[in-house]
Structure 1
Amino acid sequence: MKTFAEATAVIERDGSFVAELDPQWAVGDKLHGGYLMAVLGRAVSVAAGHEHPVAITTSFLRPPTPGEATVDVVTLREGRTTSQYRATLAQDGQVCAEALVTQGGLDDAEPWWSAAPPPELPPEEECVRLPSVAPGAPFVVPLLDVVEHRLDPSVLGFAVGQPSKAGRTGAWLRLADGADWDPLSLLVALDLAPPISLTLGVTGWAPTITFTAYLRRLPAPGPLRVTMRAAEITSGRMDETALAWDTKGNLVAQATQLAAIRH
């Protein structure tokens, strides 16, 4: 089993970057969107003058398969405090995902102002770790072997045929290899499994169409508290908004995505 750093590693080759997409970071047979964003972000971070991604918007065009893929990075603007790039992930001559990435510098300073206090969740040990192979589940979720996801028991009704209509989840997350969260791995944390649609009783894949993440600060060591909620499901599409806090109770990342859904 590769670590997150190993699974997202890129090598420069002939003006592009080459990645070996790891099947472990997947939901069913589809590679996880946050993982793919992290691969794109890794390539930009190698190419960029600024160290950290601070914002990334990704459009997912078609799902790549595990194995070799290329990432091309184009500089759009280089500035003193932030720079913008376009990154494209392709496989077998087809573009699979394209991202607009803003690079800058993150620190762990306390917020000057905040209206996003950390959520009240049961203690980590009282939450339920989701297995990669769940009884009766239609597919395996290999991602849950590399990301420890402990879900708030209050939203687990869907697992016993009693879905919640709250449209929200809360969880504690850790990387299974013991590594601390960083700006790139936060992209994985923001794209939670299960999707809100599953907690509402809608089974099946909810593929991401577009995803925007903001990385706010360097996370303190330890687990994350992450919440996700949806506002509406309509016209075969679902929104999801995720917020992540570190062990100091500071907001470290947030994201909004639009996903397809058949209900």
Structure 2
Amino acid sequence: MGSFKEATAIEAVGDGEFTADLDAQWSVGGKLHGGYLLAVVARAAAELGEHPHLTAISGAFPTAPQPGPATVRVEFLQSSRTLTQLRARLTQNGTPCVEALVTQGVLSEDDPWWTNTQPPEMPAEQDSFRFPAQAPGNDFEIPILDVVETRVDPAAIGWATGQPARQGAISTWQRLADGSDWDPLSLLVALDPVPPVSYELGAPGWAPTLQFSAYIRRLPAPGPVRVRMSANDVTSNRMDEAAFAWDSSGRMAAQATQFAAVRLPRG
């Protein structure tokens, strides 16, 4: 099992181009995880950014890449006193796989000036259900769950016994299995948690990300993050998912919205 830093490693080629070796461990049902892919892209963009921290990223996923060699091309757009904006594209064998706009800035651990978010009420981490790589009711493996320890609020796992609550929300505790603390890049993985909300709605199965936007609000405190993901509408095999992540201090560290495909049960 490699670390997140190793799995997202890049090598500069020159003129804004980088190579990466996409790690099969960070996948769901044989498909590389969307948050992981954005983290690879964001790591490359940071090499050209004039500010140290990822603060925002918005990506589209036209083609699912395979584990193995890939190329990231980064274009500098503009820089000001407080931010740098860039465009990045991940390709494999000449095919575009991820297109992203990236904003770099400077983050702190400060409390918010104002906030309207509160971490979800849920059992303690040790009292929550450890979601396994071979999950009940799944006919495929989820290798990323061996590198991201995910514990689900027991109130949201009724689907495993054929009794989904259908509340449209799932809360989880998450840790990096290699013992690393969360940082602005790895939070992109936490904001795209497994299982997706569709499980809780009674539609288990792969829910591929089509578009994803994330905002990193502050440097997270050491320890696990608590993530609440909810959906508002599921129509025509498409769903929205909004995620918020709170660090161990109870402060919101990051948030995201994504548009995903979902395989709805017949009838």
**What range describes the TM-score normalised by the shorter chain of this pair?**
over 0.9
The one-character-per-residue Cα deviations of 1:181-234 (angstroms, maximum 9, x if unpaired) are 000000000001111111111132211110000000000000001000000101
Partner of 2:69: 68
Partner of 1:184: 185
Amino acid paired to 2:167: A
Distance 1:249 1:205 in 2: 30
Q: Is the 8 A contact 2:12 2:19 kept in 1?
A: yes
3-state DSSP of counterpart to 1:6:
helix
TM-score (norm: length of structure 2): 0.97
The one-character-per-residue Cα deviations of 1:37-56 (angstroms, maximum 9, x if unpaired) are 00001001112111111110
The one-character-per-residue Cα deviations of 1:83-102 (angstroms, maximum 9, x if unpaired) are 11000000001000100001
3-state DSSP of counterpart to 1:116:
coil
Amino acid paired to 1:211: F
* Residues 148-187 of structure 1 mapped to structure 2, 5 A cutoff: 148-187=149-188
Distance 1:236 1:28 in 2: 18
Identity of aligned pairs, percent?
56
How many residues are aligned here? 263
Partner of 2:254: 253
Partner of 2:202: 201
Distance 1:180 1:130 in 2: 20
Distance 1:133 1:120 in 2: 27
The CA deviation at 1:14 is 3.6
3-state DSSP of counterpart to 2:260:
strand
Partner of 2:55: 54
Partner of 2:90: 89
Distance 1:18 1:135 in 2: 37
Partner of 2:79: 78
Distance 1:146 1:262 in 2: 26
The CA deviation at 1:235 is 2.2
Distance 1:204 1:122 in 2: 25
Q: Summarize the Cα distance change of 1:204–1:135 in structure 2 as closer, same or farther, 3 Å threshold.
A: closer
The one-character-per-residue Cα deviations of 1:137-167 (angstroms, maximum 9, x if unpaired) are 2100000000000000001001111112100
Amino acid paired to 2:6: E
* Residues 73-152 of structure 1 mapped to structure 2, 5 A cutoff: 73-152=74-153
3-state DSSP of counterpart to 2:180:
coil
Report the aligned-residue RMSD: 0.8
Partner of 1:6: 6
Distance 2:251 2:33 in 1: 26
Amino acid paired to 1:234: T
Amino acid paired to 1:171: T
Amino acid paired to 1:38: A
Q: Summarize the Cα distance change of 1:134–1:204 in structure 2 as closer, same or farther, 3 Å threshold.
A: closer
3-state DSSP of counterpart to 2:157:
helix
Distance 2:125 2:204 in 1: 26
3-state DSSP of counterpart to 1:39:
helix
Distance 1:113 1:212 in 2: 22
Structure 2, gaps ≥5 residues long:
none
Partner of 1:224: 225
- Structure 1 runs (4+) greater than 4 angstroms displaced: none
- Is 2:39 the counterpart of 1:35? no
3-state DSSP of counterpart to 2:133:
coil
